[in-house]
Amino acid sequence: MYYAFATSILFLCDGGGSNSSNYYIFKEDLQKLANEIGIEIRIAHYPPYTSKYNPIEHRLFPHVTRACEGVIFKSIELVKSLIEKTSTKTGLRVIVNLIDKVYDKGRQVMDGFKENLPIIFDEYLPKWNYRAIPQNA
C-alpha cells in the first residue's frame, strides 16, 4: 500500500456523467466507499464546462489519443494493448485494468438516504465541494 497512513483522499471529478454533483446515487456510493476503506473522501467537482482544466485531460488523454491514432478498434484487447503502450519521454506510463462487470441501470438511492444525508457540504461552493466521512457500522 503506497499511502498506508493517509487520513483522507481527494477526488477531482468532472461535473457531468455518472459522478455529477447532482446525483445522490454517486454520493451514496461515495459514502459506502468511505465506510469500507475507513478514511474521509473529499470531493471537488469541476463546475460545468470547465473539465478542460482537469489535469488528467492534459497529462494523459492526448498521449492515449496519439497511441490509438489511425487504428480501427476491433477488440477490447487491441484497445488495451494500444493504451498500455502509451508513454512519454518524461516518464508517463499507463497501466490498464479491465473490469468485467455489468453495472445496473436505473439504480435508485436507498430509502432515507436523502433525508439522513451523511455527506458534509463545504461552506464554499457546497454544490461542488463536500466530504464523505466514515460512519460507524
Does a structural domain hold residue 137? no
Query: Residue 19 belongs to what domain range?
Result: 8-132
**8, 38 Cβ separation under 8 angstroms:** no
**Would you state the pLDDT for residue 76?**
93
Please state, in angstroms and rounded to a whole number, the distance separating the CA atoms of residues 47 and 127. Answer: 9
CA separation, residue 39 to residues 31, 58, 70 (Å): 10, 29, 43
Q: What are the backbone dihedrals phi and psi of residue 107, each rounded to the nearest 5 degrees, phi first? A: -60, 145
Average pLDDT along the chain:
87
Does a structural domain hold residue 62? yes
Does a structural domain hold residue 39? yes
The per-residue pLDDT for range 77-93, each reduced to its tens digit, is 999 999 999 988 888 88
Please state, in angstroms and rounded to a whole number, the distance separating the CA atoms of residues 94 and 125. Answer: 33
Does a structural domain hold residue 1? no
Q: Is the pLDDT of residue 39 over 80?
A: yes
Please state, in angstroms and rounded to a whole number, the distance separating the CA atoms of residues 35 and 134. Answer: 4
C-alpha cell at 124: 464554499
Percent pLDDT > 70 in the chain is 95
Does a structural domain hold residue 2? no
Number of domains in the chain: 1
Does a structural domain hold residue 73? yes
CA separation, residue 8 to residues 5, 112, 132 (Å): 9, 26, 10
Does a structural domain hold residue 92? yes
pTM here is 0.72
Does a structural domain hold residue 65? yes
